[in-house]
Amino acid sequence: MADDGFRKQLEAKELSHADFITELREKYELRVAEHQHKVTLTMTLDEGNLSAPATLIYDCISGLQVDTVEQEMRELLLERESSKRLFEDQLKKVNEAFMTLQQGV
């Protein structure tokens, strides 16, 4: 019974993390689209010729986006691992308390 309650809490927490990751992914895709639009405008201003500076800007933006998203994902994974360990420790303590009560009865 208690395990069902804890399992539901864990599933709710995992669902909220999945929603948060989805939200981050959508924000990332929006930022990528905005940067791509800027690069497209730069290309248009150059009358269709992608100049060396525009290429360099595009490469830098792409690299920074990937690095930023990777770092955000690492932080999310570390946070999730930490909260999972905390939850598992709490669950272990509750199970130990139940075992103690059962042995005492």
Q: pLDDT per residue over 10-64, tens digit each?
A: 888 888 888 888 888 888 888 888 877 776 666 555 554 545 455 555 566 666 6
**pLDDT score at 43:** 59
**pLDDT score at 96:** 92
Angle at 28 between CA 10 and CA 73, to 5 degrees: 45
pTM: 0.38
- Give the tokens for residue 58: 């595009």
What does the pLDDT look like over 72-86, one tens digit per residue?
A: 888 888 999 998 999
**pLDDT score at 57:** 58
